């Protein structure tokens, strides 16, 4: 995997976290491998400060642990971890989608339509970073429309553990996601809260199976 030009980019810690996260999900950093601050900083051509910040952030996500005097080590990712996160997301996401259907405005619907159009373009172009960003923006738009900020905040915290950056590379998922999003949009436009709940819950539940298969093929899940 080529190394991006980190030194010329803002928000270095986020860029480093994205880089390390991708290496974990691709199997380049397998479970049990140590990640050395100085070594990674030298490889990326930056100071250790943003690298340290990134690794602490990945520790908070449950991808790394820190061992005294030995540094950061990659934690295993299990099938149960992924399924559990998907189940919780499906429940909360379904509630938020149901509430969104009851109060979403025409302007918010138009914005969601626009984001979905852009997301499909990103999928077709294999622009994975744009797809991750736009998918996140789509779901955030639904959650904001629900008018339940505390529940949306909780959903945001759970999403940190959802391996969002992997989904665009999962075989068949972009097409599956597109169908699900369009079904959800139809339910929102109809102001059908039960259909919106079902569409979102099924979408989030369905994501775990293909993701587990994808990570297993890559050796990330043993």
**Cα separation, 70 vs 63, whole angstroms:** 16
Q: Is 199 a residue whose pLDDT tops 80?
A: yes
**CATH class label, 12-74:** mainly alpha
Across residues 110-131, what is the average pLDDT? 96
Token pair of 161 as six digits: 């553990």
Gyration radius of the chain's alpha carbons = 18
CATH of 79-217, picked from 1.20.120.530, 1.10.8.60, 3.30.1360.80, 3.30.750.200, is 1.20.120.530
Q: Is 6 a residue whose pLDDT tops 90?
A: no
Q: Which residues contact 13 (CB under 8 A, 6 or more apart)?
A: 50, 51, 53, 54, 57
Average pLDDT value over all residues in the chain: 91
| pLDDT level of residue 3 (50, 70, 90 thresholds) | low
Whole-model pTM: value is 0.80
| pLDDT level of residue 5 (50, 70, 90 thresholds) | low
**Cα separation, 92 vs 135, whole angstroms:** 17
Domain-by-domain residue ranges, the chain? 12-74, 79-217
Q: How much is the pLDDT for 8?
A: 47
Where do we find the tokens 């994205």?
18
Half-sphere exposure of 58 (CA within 13 A, CB side): 29
**Cα separation, 137 vs 35, whole angstroms:** 31
**Cα separation, 69 vs 46, whole angstroms:** 22
């Amino acid at each position: 995997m080529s190394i991006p030009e980190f030194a010329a980019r803002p928000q270095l810690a986020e860029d480093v976290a994205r880089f390390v996260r991708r290496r974990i999900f691709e199997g380049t950093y397998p479970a049990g491998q140590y990640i050395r601050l100085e070594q990674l900083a030298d490889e990326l051509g930056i100071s250790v400060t943003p690298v340290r910040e990134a690794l602490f952030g990945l520790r908070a996500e449950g991808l790394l642990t820190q061992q005294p005097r030995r540094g950061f080590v990659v934690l295993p990712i299990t099938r149960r971890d992924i399924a559990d996160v998907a189940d919780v997301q499906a429940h909360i996401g379904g509630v938020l989608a149901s509430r969104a259907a009851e109060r979403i405005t025409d302007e918010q619907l138009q914005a969601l339509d626009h984001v979905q159009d852009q997301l499909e373009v990103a999928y077709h172009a294999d622009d994975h970073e744009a797809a991750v960003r736009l998918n996140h923006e789509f779901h955030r738009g639904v959650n904001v429309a629900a008018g339940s900020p505390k529940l949306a905040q909780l959903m945001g915290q759970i999403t940190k553990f959802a391996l969002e950056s992997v989904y665009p590379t999962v075989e068949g998922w972009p097409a599956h996601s597109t169908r699900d999003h369009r079904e959800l949009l139809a339910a929102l436009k109809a102001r059908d809260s039960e259909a919106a709940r079902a569409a979102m819950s099924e979408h989030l539940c369905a994501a775990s199976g293909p993701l587990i298969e994808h990570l297993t093929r890559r050796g990330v899940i043993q």
